[in-house]
Structure 1
Amino acid sequence: MPWRTALSAQAVLSQAAWVGVRLMIGYRALALGADPVFLGLLASTFALPALLVALPAGRISDRRGGTGMAFIGLISAAAGTAMLFAVPGLPFLLVASAFIGLGNLLVMVGQQTFVAHVSAKGSTEGAFGTLTAAASIGQLIGPPAATVAASLGTGGGAAPDTTLGLLVCLGFTLLGAPAYFFLRRTDGALRRKRHTVNTQPAKIGGVLKTPGMWRSLAVSGAVLVTVDLMYAFVPVWATEQNIDATAVGVLLALRAAVSVLSRLGLMRLIARFGRKALLLVSIAAAAAGLLALPLTGLYGAVAVMVGLGLGLGIPQPLTMAWVTSLTHANHHGAALGLRLTVNRFAQISLPVAMGAAAAPLGVLGIFWANAALLIGAIVVVAGSDAGPGGGTSAVDPADGS
């Protein structure tokens, strides 16, 4: 099996499980009486343990390869999902979500490091576009699969049966694990080739001081927080609008479908408009969607999800390529681990703050605060050199990064 096929299948399944679990945990928390502050805390716990692990995981992936790291992450995420069947109650939701978040972090570090290493001589935007397009297909599959299964178990009631939805997500996670056995040979060959070059281990202080690095990290964090908050708070918006769980799954699937389409044509868009222009336009589309969502009903949300699909689909592969373009090929895992650490820090701090803001303002406060965050990201991009090849002084020219 070619590595692209194996990696894409793993990314589809792992992301389907991830977003489905996020949605089901949100509904379970609401059924147990959670308020917006608790939902913000729940979103943060997905990120908390990973904040401490991303950097060492990136360094280990540089040395040992990313495929094994992704395999360990899938097993960890499966174990965390299984925990949700063991003990009821809101406090245990926080423990299980932290474990699942740790597993997802290891999967992402492993997959992204593998892609960065295998594409070191080619187009990183195209390779990351393939990975993130596969992830978006998973995001397209996960919400409807989980919500339809949950709706089938309601027995005519309004609240979804989250146990059935979580079983579907657990199945996705376990199905993604065997791809490791198809990827490890390619990863091993890449690792042996990299180790023929004597390169010092990456120092995080040096990576942070790379020109342009902080800008790429800030933009990446703002976009990823938006994805997290959307999955955490769209159920709250839907509940206020009397929109059922199946419709929510369809809306989130539409958002993912638009992201898939935008990523499949990414190389042509970059060639025509450039990385910086794409970042500016796509993030602006996401900000506009967040401003509009609290004021719309079901049909208006369709247009909002199209905007969010563009705004959350295009920036992620571009910021991954932006980060790796600033670093040596042997340090891509460390740089991507740093990117994920910054992302996780944002995921921990911002949802709690926005959840507190939502107490008096409701979901309008959450989505509008998130839109303001994206407008700040637009300002950062506007002042940067984010075009292909920009700010690459730290890169070994022989790497072709």
Structure 2
Amino acid sequence: MRSAAIPVLDGRGALAAMVACQIGLHACAQGVRLAAPLGVLALGRSAWSVGLVMTMFAVFPALLALPAGRLADRRGYHLPVRIAACCALAGTLLAAASHSLWALCAAAALSGAGSGCGMIAIQRSASRLATSEAGRLRVFSWIALAPAVAGLFGPMLAGVLIDHAGFSSAFLALALLPAATLLAAQAVPAETPRAAASPNQGRASSWDLLRLAPFRRLLLLSWLVSVSWDVHGFALPLLGVERAMSASALGAVLAAYAVASMLVRLAIPLVAGRISGNTLLAGALLLACAVFGAYPLLHNAWAMAACAAMLGVALGVVQPAILASLHDVAPPGRHGEALALRSMAIHSSMAAMPLLFGALGAAAGAAALFWMMSAALGAGSIQARRLRPRAA
């Protein structure tokens, strides 16, 4: 028998507050992602030290994802988000006070953990703002817009302040972002406590979710999309160097991707309800498959920018579609755990895959990376068509 109904959050400003909270946490992490490596180099440390700091951004969110997911399922929105914001706030203040390698490592770990763990609680609670598939797709299109906005704002803020006021001022300014998250969180209504879980459900392991075939399929697709982001960011500069493209041309290509990704997330609410989430997901993966296959055949910066824009459209659609589908395939009351497993897969990939990309790129070239990713995305589009919601 199905468990007690999951409460739905209300409040006109709840979604806007959640988007603001995620922007604050994610922009802080992205700003630290720029400032911390530059701080390490300013100390005269080696490239290995830079790699150590960057690893902190992925390792700690992966380690803390499951506890964060369980906490969100038990306590709702506010406590996990407050803990996440306090972690990010502590990390940035520590880096502002002590410009040393260990402080920069701590800032990376705490801001990364704050962004990753806060995102789990935000996405879990956002699913309660809608009661239909189309509604969830609209909600998650706005939620998915937050990282894109934060990815532009956070590094820009950090870079300008580092150049004009120094590292301490930059970290202090970044500390204002999680502080703003603490304030914005107050606009999210508290959830009505749901009925206590049954004894058997309370003893269920998070790994039992992997026994659900639709969840496994969706987790694979989510990981595949994460890998495709990483491949694009890693292999595009290599391909550009092979094509003798300038740095400004490569920057324009990446900018086309970012702008298209943001615009399509603004457009998703207009088409939600007219097309199913599975069809949207399968079509987006197929478009990404075609783009990755075409990239190595192009030699003109404008053509590559057009490809990047199409990839931004495809991958910009995928994340809201995956998050909306996750609500359907996860058991009631365990959406936080499901999001946590997704976060673990993504952050573990972020920590390990660049080494594999480097080995493959050195052995086979950048074009081979694009074509292998194209084949994987094509297979993923077939899996997306087979997604089915959990049985009631």
Determine which of 175, 178, 185 is the counterpart of 2:180. 175
Determine which of 127, 145, 153 is the counterpart of 1:141. 153
Instruction: Say yes or no: does 1:275 pair with 2:273.
Output: no
Contact 2:88–2:107 (CA under 8 A) maintained in structure 1: no
Within 5 Å, give how 1:26-45 maps onto structure 2.
26-28=37-39, 43-45=54-56
- Give the direction of change, closer, same or farther, for the CA distance of 1:81–1:281 in structure 2 (3 Å limit): farther
Contact 1:11–1:135 (CA under 8 A) maintained in structure 2: yes
Deviations 1:36-70 (A, max 9, x none): x8766654431212222211211111110123212
1:237 shift after superposition? 9.2
- Give the direction of change, closer, same or farther, for the CA distance of 1:233–1:75 in structure 2 (3 Å limit): farther
Within 5 Å, give how 1:30-109 maps onto structure 2.
43-85=54-96, 86-89=98-101, 93-109=104-120
Q: Distance in 2 between matches of 1:300 and 1:33?
A: 39
Instruction: Say yes or no: does 1:353 pair with 2:351.
Output: no
- Give the direction of change, closer, same or farther, for the CA distance of 1:181–1:317 in structure 2 (3 Å limit): same
Determine which of 106, 109, 129 is the counterpart of 2:141. 129
**Which deviates further from its counterpart, 298-307 or 220-229?**
298-307
Contact 1:70–1:107 (CA under 8 A) maintained in structure 2: yes
Aligned to 1:329, the other structure's residue is in SS state coil
Q: Distance in 2 between matches of 1:391 and 1:271?
A: 17
Question: Which residue does 1:266 correspond to in 2?
Answer: 268
Contact 2:286–2:377 (CA under 8 A) maintained in structure 1: no
1:114 shift after superposition? 1.0
Contact 2:281–2:384 (CA under 8 A) maintained in structure 1: no
Deviations 1:151-171 (A, max 9, x none): 546xxxxxxx66655444333
Number of aligned residue pairs: give it: 373
Contact 1:43–1:229 (CA under 8 A) maintained in structure 2: no
1:281 shift after superposition? 4.1
Q: Distance in 2 between matches of 1:292 and 1:33?
A: 36
- Give the direction of change, closer, same or farther, for the CA distance of 1:168–1:294 in structure 2 (3 Å limit): farther
Question: Which residue does 1:6 correspond to in 2?
Answer: 17
Aligned to 2:339, the other structure's residue is in SS state helix
Q: Distance in 1 between matches of 2:122 and 2:386?
A: 23
Q: Distance in 2 between matches of 1:54 and 1:378?
A: 29
**Which deviates further from its counterpart, 19-28 or 95-104?**
19-28
Question: Which residue does 1:327 correspond to in 2?
Answer: 330
Question: Which residue does 1:209 correspond to in 2?
Answer: 211
Letter in 2 for 1:265: A
Determine which of 323, 339, 346 is the counterpart of 1:336. 339
Instruction: Say yes or no: does 1:220 pair with 2:222.
Output: yes
Deviations 1:123-160 (A, max 9, x none): 3222222211233222343343333444546xxxxxxx
Question: Which residue does 1:399 correspond to in 2?
Answer: none
Letter in 1 for 2:158: A
Q: Distance in 1 between matches of 2:79 and 2:162?
A: 32
Contact 1:65–1:110 (CA under 8 A) maintained in structure 2: yes
Q: Distance in 2 between matches of 1:286 and 1:73?
A: 33
Deviations 1:352-389 (A, max 9, x none): 3224556x479x64x963763464143133134456xx
Letter in 2 for 1:171: L
Aligned to 1:6, the other structure's residue is in SS state helix
- Give the direction of change, closer, same or farther, for the CA distance of 1:129–1:7 in structure 2 (3 Å limit): same
Within 5 Å, give how 1:220-239 maps onto structure 2.
220-227=222-229
Question: Which residue does 2:5 correspond to in 1?
Answer: none
Contact 1:140–1:257 (CA under 8 A) maintained in structure 2: no
Q: Output the TM-score relative to the length of structure 1.
A: 0.76
Determine which of 278, 299, 318 is the counterpart of 2:321. 318
1:197 shift after superposition? 7.2
Aligned to 1:325, the other structure's residue is in SS state helix
Deviations 1:60-116 (A, max 9, x none): 111101232122112212222334342434x76544322322111111111011112
- Give the direction of change, closer, same or farther, for the CA distance of 1:323–1:375 in structure 2 (3 Å limit): farther
Letter in 1 for 2:268: L
Question: Which residue does 1:382 correspond to in 2?
Answer: 382
Q: Distance in 1 between matches of 2:112 and 2:90?
A: 11
Q: Distance in 2 between matches of 1:242 and 1:151?
A: 24
Q: For the aligned residues, what is the CA RMSD?
A: 4.0
Contact 2:282–2:385 (CA under 8 A) maintained in structure 1: no
Letter in 1 for 2:149: I
Structure 2: segments with no counterpart, 5+ residues: 1-11
Q: Distance in 1 between matches of 2:275 and 2:69?
A: 31
Structure 1: segments with no counterpart, 5+ residues: 154-160, 397-401
The share of aligned pairs that are identical, in percent, is: 23
Contact 1:43–1:347 (CA under 8 A) maintained in structure 2: no
Q: Distance in 1 between matches of 2:256 and 2:173?
A: 20
Q: Distance in 2 between matches of 1:38 and 1:371?
A: 33
Letter in 2 for 1:203: S
Q: Distance in 1 between matches of 2:167 and 2:370?
A: 27
Contact 1:270–1:278 (CA under 8 A) maintained in structure 2: no
Instruction: Say yes or no: does 1:391 pair with 2:389.
Output: yes
1:351 shift after superposition? 2.4
